[in-house]
Amino acid sequence: MDEGSPAVDPAALLEQARGALDAAYVPYSEYTVGAAVLTEDGSVFTGCNIENANYSNSLHAEEVAVGSAVRAGHRSIVGVAVSSGARDGVTPCGMCRQTLAEFGDEDIPVYCDEGDGEWTEHRLGELIPDTITPEMLGVDPTERAAGDDAAGE
C-alpha cells in the first residue's frame, strides 16, 4: 500500500460489505454475498452478487464493487472486505481475485467476515500468487488515463 493511501479500518469496511447483502439477487442459491472496496482516495464502493438463470452470467459481489469504482474513475484499490449472509468467512473466488489484482497490489488486505465481529485477514498475494499482470502482457496501465475508452464513447 502506498504511503499516501488511507488507513484501512477492517470493521468499517466489513460493515459496508454487510450493508450490500440486502441488495443481493440470489433466487437460485439463496447465498448472499456483499463486498466493499476501498480506493486510494478513501472512497468505498460496494457490490452484491446478482444471479442469473444461466449461472455463467451471474455477477459476483467483488466484480460489482470493482466495476462501480472503475466507473467512478478509480484505478487503485487499497482494501477489500467480503461478507456473506452466512458469515462463514467466504473469500473471493479465483476470478474475483484476478479482478482485484488488476486494480490492487499483492499487499492489499482482504477481510473475510466470520460473524460476531470477527474476521480473517489475508493479503491478496496470498490468495492469488503469481497473478497475471498487465506487465506480463507488455502493458503499462499507468499510461492509460482514467476514462480512456477504446470504443470512443
Distance in angstroms (rounded) separating the CA atoms of residues 94 and 80: 15
Report how many domains make up the chain.
1
> Tens digit of pLDDT for each residue in 5-48?
789 999 999 999 999 999 999 999 999 999 999 999 999 999 99
In a domain, 151, yes or no: no
pLDDT score of 88 more than 70: yes
Annotated catalytic residue 153? no
How many residues can be counted in the chain? 153
> Tens digit of pLDDT for each residue in 94-146?
999 999 999 999 999 999 999 999 999 999 999 999 888 888 888 887 765 54
Distance in angstroms (rounded) separating the CA atoms of residues 50 and 58: 6
In a domain, 135, yes or no: yes
C-alpha cell of 41? 482516495
In a domain, 54, yes or no: yes
pLDDT score of 153 more than 90: no
Instruction: Exactly one of 3, 40, 51, 62 is catalytic; name it.
Output: 62
**For residue 124, what are the domain limits?**
10-143
In a domain, 3, yes or no: no
- Write the CA distances from 152 to 2, 58, 71, 145, integer angstroms: 32, 27, 15, 14
pLDDT score of 147 more than 60: no
